[in-house]
Amino acid sequence: MIVTPLTKLLGIRVPVVQGGMQWVGVPQLAAAVSNAGGLGILTALTQPSTDALRQAIRETRKLTSKNFGVNITLLPSINPPDYEGYARAALEEGVRIFETAGNNPGPVVKLLKSHGCIVIHKCTTIRHAKAGERLGVDVLSIDGFECAGHPGEDDIGGLVLLARAAQELSVPYIASGGIADGRGLAAALALGAAGANMGTRFMCTVESPIHQSIKDRIVASTELDTVHIFRTLRNTARVYRNAVSKEVVALERRPGGAKFEELRDLVSGQRGRKVYELGDPDYGIWSAGISVGLIKDCPTCEELLINIEKEAEEVIDGLAKLRVRAKL
């Protein structure tokens, strides 16, 4: 067993968190991850209303007696969702572990901390991590350049970002982005992290709610199969490389670039959602990290976490054997 400040704080067996995932972080997945010994997380905004989130929390509770969390993602939006309403609904349902991500998390973090919750705040820079520390978050989830979704604009890979976290942070942190196996978990621990956060890896599990064709596509992919969109809008997102994301990048690269309004239909969240329903990888934009190149199977969450734990332990033991004592 690997025991870290994360496993102790969250009461989990394996130091692995399943990060919030729009359209993917639903009760059956979150419960499966928690039952397998990690921390499963429901994605609040996948639910169309605060009442629907309440139902999702109740459903998850029926599927697991273990701890699970709720992700609240605060993204720039013309009509922002009722973030505080989602947080309050989860609080009233008894949830005490949250993952926050995105812009201006202060008010939501304050609310959650005033209710004694454990807050894991995900961010992509040391600057933002330090701001999170000042807000009183319990764990930082440090999302490197490799990650699916929003990597920020600084392009710092996990290796340096996590080593910088070790230098700068005083609260425990977990490594996020590009981790899909026990080797990655062991590397994260070596860099001072208390565990790992994974998104893409959990998309490709038996309990993930997405269409089997998309899981098969992930297995068939290499690390070259993702692309950054919205670079020119300074709202970069790493998504799967397909017909739609290539068109978005081409529009962004034409002379004069592209305004968001010109990309809106191509990148619509509803089209992305249909990818998972229809199993057509070219139907819309869908998030994926470069760890698609590491994913070669579609196990149950239990099989996955057993393998990750075993591999991480083997790597850690193997590293210890590299040390040769000098003869006196």
Ligand X SMILES: Cc1cc2nc3c(=O)[nH]c(=O)nc-3n(C[C@H](O)[C@H](O)[C@H](O)COP(=O)(O)O)c2cc1C
Binding site for ligand X (CB under 6 A): 19-22, 24, 43, 71, 73, 101, 122, 143, 146-149, 176-179, 197-201, 203, 287-289, 291
Name the residue with the smallest CB distance to ligand X: 199
Scan for tokens 């929390």, then name that residue.
Answer: 57
What DSSP line would sit under 281-299, residue for residue? TTSS--B--GGGGG-----
Strand partners, 101: 73, 122
Minimum distance, C-beta of residue 207 to ligand X, in the bound complex (Å): 14
Tell me how far apart the alpha carbons of residues 36 and 304 are, in angstroms, rounded to a whole number.
Answer: 9
∠ CA 93-136-51, rounded to 5°: 20
Query: Cβ closer to ligand X: 53 or 318?
Result: 53
Tokens of 124: 């992509």
Task: Determine the Cα–Cα distance for residues 74 and 90; give it in Å rounded to an integer.
Answer: 16
C-alpha dist (Å) from residue 328 to 201, 274, 320, 321, 323: 47, 67, 20, 19, 15
Instruction: Tell the smallest beta-carbon distance from residue 133 to ligand X (Å).
Output: 18
* Nearest residue (CB) to ligand X, 12 versus 21: 21
